Amino acid sequence: MFKLDGKVAIVTGATSGIGVSIAEKFVEAGAKVVIAGRRRAEGEAVAKRLGAQVRFKQTDVTDEAQMKALIADALSGFGRLDCIVNNAGGPGPVGSIETIPVDGFDACVALNCRSVMLGMKLTAPIFRKQRSGSIINVGSIAALRAGFSSSMVYSMAKAGVVHLTKVVAMELAEANVRVNSISPGAIATGIFGKALGAADPERTAAIARQVLAKAQPIPRAGLPEDIAGAAVYLASDESSFVTAHDIVIDGGMIGGRFWTAQQDGLNNMRKAFGVSVE
């Protein structure tokens, strides 16, 4: 495992799903972590479970004052800051371009993209001054291909995250600060249930794990720990020469056409041409 001994990190959206898994892996690797989220009870429970290396700060990541308070909490509580994982996000309004509500559009962009901008804006001066730091933004394969989200607004917001990551990376690299993004594929969390209106979204993660098992060439659903492992690498010194990259973790989902489907298509064409199929 890559080591994070002596490092301090902030992980937003860490009361469930991918954020919790990243916090867990960071602690295992030796880091101290401030986890952030809107749900106090859940956040405090996670912090208690993970122990003295973890603090919880209730935070609405769309609010600049609250983000400033989150970063101040990390500095006052642990004395330094080495990494921020801008993970907080959520589904956007579904449906056609003709039906998107403007307030839903604005809320989705604020949560999924503007919050990432705030995380980078407010940590950049700290990292620039100490000439070190790793910023990790969570994107999505929906940013890279149309049709991979229930919401076109979510896709657009995540595309903004991926490109903003690269733009900021090129600026901060000159101060020895690294900025990268991770684009998950079909990861079995409660976001699918939340997007589709399930009464208890967190309970849908196990169902999503079954439904998504054949959604990509690797025959299983993605798991939060698949993303967490990449985050540990990007936070560690072993990735000190890696910046301005978007790491896609999707089991091959957007790599191209499934091999079996391609071969079936070729065989069907052979049959249409009167060519024997062995």
User: Which of the residues are catalytic?
Assistant: 154
As to burial, measured by CB atoms within 10 angstroms (0-12 exposed, 13-18 middle, 19+ buried), residue 138 is buried
Instruction: Indicate the burial class of 37 (C-beta count within 10 angstroms; 0-12, 13-18, 19 or more).
Output: buried
Length of the chain: 278
* CA-based torsion, 104, 163, 80, 30: positive or negative: positive
Indicate the angle between helix axes 115-130 and 152-172, nearest 10 degrees: 10
Q: At what angle do helices 152-172 and 102-109 cross, to 10 degrees?
A: 30
Three-state DSSP class for residue 40: helix
- Strand (E) positions, the chain? 8-12, 32-37, 54-58, 83-86, 134-138, 178-184, 246-249
* Residue pointed to by tokens 């973890």: 54
